[in-house]
Structure 1
Amino acid sequence: MTESDNLIFQTLMPLKTAVEEKKNCSVFGLSFGEKSLFLCSQKRQILFVTENLAEANKLAKELECFGKKVKTIFYKQSEFLLASLSFGQNVANMFSSLQALCKSSVDCLIVTPEVLMQKFPSKKQFFDLIISIKKGKTYNQKQLIQNLTNAGYHRTDLAQNVGDFSVRGDIVDVFNITDDLPTRIEFFDDEIESLYHYSSDDFKRLESVEKIDICPLVIFNVENKSQLFSEVEKDFSQTLKTLPANEAVLLKSAFEEFRVNFDAGNFSYVQNWLAPFMPNTNITSFLNQDAIVVFDDVKRVFDVVSSEYKKFDEQISSLINSGNALLKHKDFYISQNKVFNIDFQLLSFQSITSSNRVFDPQVVLSFRSTAQTNYFGNYNLLLEDVKYYLEFKNTVIIFAGTKNESAYLSKFLLQNKIENKIASLSEVVPNGVYIIPKDVAYGGIFVEDRVVVIGTEELVKKSTKQIVSSQKREEFTLPKIGDYVVHESFGIGLCVAIQKLKFTEYEKDYVVLQYAGGDKLYLPTEQIGQISAYVAGEGTPK
């Protein structure tokens, strides 16, 4: 049993059971902390799809607290013309993530919805492009040069920038995209005699390394050059017939530029013209067979993908008509009707009761959650909450991070007559306050279990400076049916009902807010502080 297993309380057992039975689930009402703690407990690989980059970064931090290996891809190819790839951080993350997935060293891959549209090779095809160099092993130097070219590296006089390599006698220098420094490979005949990093400023030798895996800079491996070129040439001829004279001249010029670079093996420069000719294989081809695909706010994921396809259709039609792209460029991405054809167990987290347009769930679960307080080092505020939790016989688990912070917090609580214990998770028993000297970024309030988990980030993270109005917010009571209100996360909604509902074994009062398109949010009355009155003059808000 791992530490994260100790944080799966009775509240989440229905979800745990459904996932273990490999049923597709739609889940409503979990807070971020509850979602993240549940995902931390999973032994299977996770693909987490979210449009919210702030939550993506928070989840990565939470998973890493439990020793999980996390990778991210927030990049989608959106350049359709001939061009060299710009090696920004998102591009580097994409290639390093693909390499890590090939080596099965990823517990969770976090991606944005647009990544699902992107065409990818199979895991084996990308793995074959990875160049592994080990000191003392044999490797033909000419073959290495060819493999670097096939992998998208650019031969220069000096390898000073990411993606460059150079050759001088028995020395090959290469700047691997996953490294901070270039690497020098020294040969003795076909043996790797020496392998070390060096400074790109003064070329001074730095630390020696035993092995380097050179990550590819191209998505696709060009295996049959003549066949692929024939396919591109055929589509070029068909596109040419549809264009007026001036636009045809532009396309002929672009095709000649493609041909020259293709013949030279500069595949990183022409990959935007090669992508349309590749199979409809998406990022899930890199996952383990028993992986779970998780959609965070599945409605938002669907809407983002639909919007991106609409923009793409308009943009690519314009490029084709102006002689800058081929007819085949319409197949640049995965077919829209296949983008959500995912052959894995699927799990969606949802806040608003709307239809799941990505998949049909076999199990639908609803939970109730309570907003978590961020203390930001304000121990007096923490003290008030701990007293409140203990009054209602809750167990309070506080992740304080370090031993020193744990000791300080324990002393503070004791001075204020709050008994507590510095302990490990396995020592926690019902009732009482437990301080854990470990980093777990975010917690949650498990109402049915009477357990409160406070994460390290919520406890000690310093808040950013904010401008606060000197006027106190007027106390807001329950809205009336027909009133417009503003939710702090979801914006302006219309109150259409206040009613008792039973989503779990407990019946409670909910404020029902309706949004554009008919989506509804069921807000527990104890979370009424998340909404305020809509004040913007007369009439209906737009």
Structure 2
Amino acid sequence: MSLQKLLELNTTFPKSRDALSAIKNGAKLVQIEGLAAAAKGWMIAGAFVETGRTMFVVTYTYEQAERIAEDLCLYGIPKDQVLFFPPSDAMIYEEGPPDFSVIGERLGVLHALSTGKTAVVVAPINAALRRTMPRTTLAQCNVTIDVGEDLDMDDFVTQLVKMGYERTDVVDRHGEFSRRGGIVDVYASSEEYPLRIELFGDEIESIRHFDSATQRSIDKISTALLLPAREVVLTEDSAAKAIARIRKELAAQIQSLDGTEDRESAKRISEKVEDDITRLENGAYFDEIEYYLPYLHPDEISIFDYLPVDAITVLDEPMQIKSHWEQHEEKMMETLINRAGRGLLLASQKRQHVPFESTIKHALSSKQAVSLALLPRPVPWAKADTTIVIDSKPMDSFAGRIEAVADQIKTWLGHNLTVIIASGQDKRMLEIMDEYGIPATSLEDLQVPVFREFIPETHREQVSDTPTIRHSTFVAHAPLRSGFKLQDAGVMVVTDSEIFGAQRMHRARKTSHEGIPISSVLDLKEGDYVVHINHGIGYYRGITKLKSQGVEREYLLLEYAGNDKLYVPSDQIDRVQKYIGGEGNPPVVHRLGGSEWMKTTTRVKKAVQEMARELVELYAWRQALGGHPFSHDTPWQQETESAFPYNETPDQIGAI
């Protein structure tokens, strides 16, 4: 991406140059104050390019983490060197299978670090502190296959099962594999698409990605890495030790529940955990096995333990990190206590996360670190050796008023400022600048320095014969989420968000697609049929309040057959959909813990697979027919689309 040119400023602008010099000279903690959120990607990218060392960026929310990760690529950092490390806390709040793609993404980052890859890793604090398997375990539990090598099919299948993969007839989600003669399909946890491995005798003839919906090949590759499907690895020894610890805590929990005369909850947790223990004894993986990670891997290991010795830890807004972690921890503990009290999970004495304070303090004492903060706030647990203030501010919004944008750019140029327009439609922006009489140049095509006036006198002779451009307008093909002002450097970065009011799509999250999504309890009235994604069809019985450890929270009360009741926290309303069956035919209400819902979903899954086969045949027939060519999008159409005030849905993006 063409914003790589902006990284010149990191080494020529005195304040950013001082920050990089402090890092290179070994300062233990460099604090950079005054950086707006949108400017942090620029600073981190510059530090990574200059140091050539792995950087671990810890920030306060998922959204800020994905923003930084996206921005780094726009500053020219190769995509394979920007690694997003997502949180995996969903299983603490809800029942059902984990998101295998999240597990794969996490393991992919850990494997990259363990094999010495130099990269920028970005993570929200709850992901950074989440416990994981030891480094040695991951190193021993992965498989690399290459075209042309011999492969014992039976041994390979056995290895996949040991790594947590589930054998199915058709592969359609991460963590599954199927075998048909000399062909093995594997949906590797760290791959976007499933792999098809074809053998000729015992030799691997080809490895290719394919689309699980159409079964069509996407590309051929020569080698593939298969990481575990789960974030735990079962061995006989680890399972035996874990079972002993689990039984001890189960006995204590049953005794506690018996004391409250809640015999039903005691029976429920006893049956559930005993079933889990049976699976562990048999070496079988199951949906909620990650909850037992602290028992199977008792050492408190996190991603911090995977970082190389010379890694640089970057704390994005340290006080916000601590505040968000405390809120997350309080919410998590409340949920765990509530679910354990109802006999839904083991009241574990083992933490799912490593402790915040000791982990961060150890990271700061053992490695170099950089603290990024907008405001000059003292951080008691992070004393800076060097403090540098860079005056920056978020960019103003023009909300689609192109004339106002042009006027402001002319004003900036009149004050000898440099303007960079970072846009997803750079060609149209060049046309708009021309229409308003503003000379603009494509930053991507520029071959001369832009920020030479900041180069120190001792180095300026190196570029003395090189022409330079400054105090001009440049357009870059780089769809940043938002712009910023570097006041001291005299640089203004404007994006589509400020110009057109356009908001970019965020990373897709796992969502449910059945029924009508409920965005508010106002969408429901008492007595409505609802569908919980994990428990099936029940009645909505209104909002109720429950108190846990002195904290009162609101819950959706769902009633199932046999007067079974389920309390769904109000912040998990996305797990519930309104039932949309035919009128006059009331649905069958399920029992909590029963098998009817699982049978129903299995039956529907098979029906969908049959429908998919029919669609493949239909679309193959359509593709054989001739199509009608349409003209390319005009600049006016692109401008109109950019001004559209809403985010497109994933389906709309796919159709476009």
- State TM-score, norm by structure 2: 0.62
Which structure 1 residue ranges, 5 or more long, are not aligned? Answer: 466-542
Q: Does 1:308 align with 2:328?
A: yes
Amino acid of the residue matched to residue 24 of structure 2?
E
C-alpha displacement at 1:154, in angstroms? 0.6
Match of 1:432 in 2: 471
Relative to its length, the structure with more helix (as a share) is 2
Contact 2:273–2:346, Cα closer than 8 Å, also in 1: no
Q: Does 1:61 align with 2:70?
A: yes
C-alpha displacement at 1:305, in angstroms? 1.4
| Cα displacement string for residues 116-145 of structure 1 (whole angstroms, at most 9, x for unaligned residues) | 331023444324333222221122222211
Match of 2:562 in 1: none
The 2-side partners of 1:106 and 1:50 are apart by 20
**Structure 1 residues 212 and 376 mapped into 2: Cα distance closer, same or farther (>3 Å)?**
farther
Contact 2:236–2:283, Cα closer than 8 Å, also in 1: no
**Structure 1 residues 266 and 83 mapped into 2: Cα distance closer, same or farther (>3 Å)?**
farther
Match of 1:454 in 2: 493
| Cα displacement string for residues 443-498 of structure 1 (whole angstroms, at most 9, x for unaligned residues) | 5433333x223244457555369xxxxxxxxxxxxxxxxxxxxxxxxxxxxxxxxx
Match of 1:523 in 2: none
Contact 2:183–2:198, Cα closer than 8 Å, also in 1: yes
| Cα displacement string for residues 221-275 of structure 1 (whole angstroms, at most 9, x for unaligned residues) | 33x4234423422441354156335465444423331233223432354232233
Q: Does 1:229 align with 2:229?
A: no
Contact 1:182–1:200, Cα closer than 8 Å, also in 2: yes
Match of 1:365 in 2: 388
Amino acid of the residue matched to residue 40 of structure 2?
K
C-alpha displacement at 1:80, in angstroms? 4.9
C-alpha displacement at 1:108, in angstroms? 2.3
Amino acid of the residue matched to residue 38 of structure 1?
M
Q: What are the within-5 Å matches in structure 2 for residues 125-274 of structure 1?
A: 125-201=137-213, 203=215, 207-222=219-234, 224-237=235-248, 239-241=250-252, 243-244=254-255, 246=263, 249-269=267-287, 270-274=289-293
3-state DSSP of counterpart to 1:411: helix
Amino acid of the residue matched to residue 302 of structure 1?
K
* Correspondence for 1:86 among 93, 98, 105: 98
C-alpha displacement at 1:114, in angstroms? 1.1
Amino acid of the residue matched to residue 64 of structure 1?
C
**Structure 1 residues 134 and 249 mapped into 2: Cα distance closer, same or farther (>3 Å)?**
same
C-alpha displacement at 1:64, in angstroms? 0.8
Q: What are the within-5 Å matches in structure 2 for residues 256-295 of structure 1?
A: 256-269=274-287, 270-278=289-297, 279-295=299-315
Match of 1:15 in 2: 19
Match of 2:485 in 1: 445
Match of 1:529 in 2: none
Quote the RMSD (CA, aligned, Å). Answer: 3.5
The 2-side partners of 1:345 and 1:11 are apart by 19
C-alpha displacement at 1:409, in angstroms? 4.9
Which structure 2 residue ranges, 5 or more long, are not aligned? Answer: 454-469, 505-656
**Structure 1 residues 312 and 420 mapped into 2: Cα distance closer, same or farther (>3 Å)?**
closer
3-state DSSP of counterpart to 1:275: helix
Amino acid of the residue matched to residue 7 of structure 2?
D
The 2-side partners of 1:238 and 1:433 are apart by 68
Q: What are the within-5 Å matches in structure 2 for residues 88-127 of structure 1?
A: 90-102=102-114, 107-127=119-139
**Bigger shift: residues 320-329 or 344-353:** 320-329
**Structure 1 residues 104 and 375 mapped into 2: Cα distance closer, same or farther (>3 Å)?**
farther
**Structure 1 residues 385 and 83 mapped into 2: Cα distance closer, same or farther (>3 Å)?**
closer
| Cα displacement string for residues 252-307 of structure 1 (whole angstroms, at most 9, x for unaligned residues) | 42333123322343235423223344211111233333222222222121012122
Q: What are the within-5 Å matches in structure 2 for residues 331-350 of structure 1?
A: 331-340=351-360, 341-342=362-363, 343-350=366-373
The 2-side partners of 1:410 and 1:312 are apart by 51
Q: What are the within-5 Å matches in structure 2 for residues 390-401 of structure 1?
A: 390-399=413-422
Match of 2:609 in 1: none
**Structure 1 residues 159 and 6 mapped into 2: Cα distance closer, same or farther (>3 Å)?**
same
Q: Does 1:40 align with 2:45?
A: yes
3-state DSSP of counterpart to 1:333: coil
Amino acid of the residue matched to residue 403 of structure 2?
N
Match of 2:603 in 1: none
**Structure 1 residues 326 and 419 mapped into 2: Cα distance closer, same or farther (>3 Å)?**
closer
The 1-side partners of 2:90 and 2:498 are apart by 41
The 2-side partners of 1:330 and 1:99 are apart by 25
C-alpha displacement at 1:403, in angstroms? 6.8
Q: What are the within-5 Å matches in structure 2 for residues 402-481 of structure 1?
A: 404-405=427-428, 407-409=430-432, 411-412=434-435, 415=437, 424=446, 426-428=448-450, 429=452, 431-439=470-478, 441=480, 443-449=483-489, 451-457=490-496, 461-463=500-502
3-state DSSP of counterpart to 2:196: strand
| Cα displacement string for residues 398-426 of structure 1 (whole angstroms, at most 9, x for unaligned residues) | 4566773465255345x3xx555556273
Contact 2:397–2:501, Cα closer than 8 Å, also in 1: no
3-state DSSP of counterpart to 1:42: helix
| Cα displacement string for residues 33-59 of structure 1 (whole angstroms, at most 9, x for unaligned residues) | 432211111223332222344443432
| Cα displacement string for residues 8-35 of structure 1 (whole angstroms, at most 9, x for unaligned residues) | 2223233222332343133322223432
3-state DSSP of counterpart to 1:280: coil
The 1-side partners of 2:424 and 2:171 are apart by 42
The 2-side partners of 1:81 and 1:456 are apart by 37
**Structure 1 residues 137 and 29 mapped into 2: Cα distance closer, same or farther (>3 Å)?**
same
Contact 1:7–1:37, Cα closer than 8 Å, also in 2: no
Contact 1:6–1:426, Cα closer than 8 Å, also in 2: no
Contact 1:396–1:432, Cα closer than 8 Å, also in 2: yes
The 2-side partners of 1:260 and 1:123 are apart by 27
**Structure 1 residues 197 and 394 mapped into 2: Cα distance closer, same or farther (>3 Å)?**
closer
**Bigger shift: residues 14-23 or 391-400:** 391-400
Contact 2:129–2:354, Cα closer than 8 Å, also in 1: yes
Match of 1:27 in 2: 32
**Bigger shift: residues 99-108 or 145-154:** 99-108
Amino acid of the residue matched to residue 18 of structure 2?
P
The 1-side partners of 2:402 and 2:43 are apart by 27
C-alpha displacement at 1:163, in angstroms? 1.8
* Correspondence for 2:83 among 71, 82, 90: 71
Identity %: 18
Amino acid of the residue matched to residue 290 of structure 2?
Q
Amino acid of the residue matched to residue 184 of structure 2?
V
| Alignment coverage as a number of residue pairs | 459
The 2-side partners of 1:145 and 1:288 are apart by 33
**Bigger shift: residues 73-82 or 27-36:** 73-82
| Cα displacement string for residues 502-530 of structure 1 (whole angstroms, at most 9, x for unaligned residues) | xxxxxxxxxxxxxxxxxxxxxxxxxxxxx
C-alpha displacement at 1:433, in angstroms? 0.7
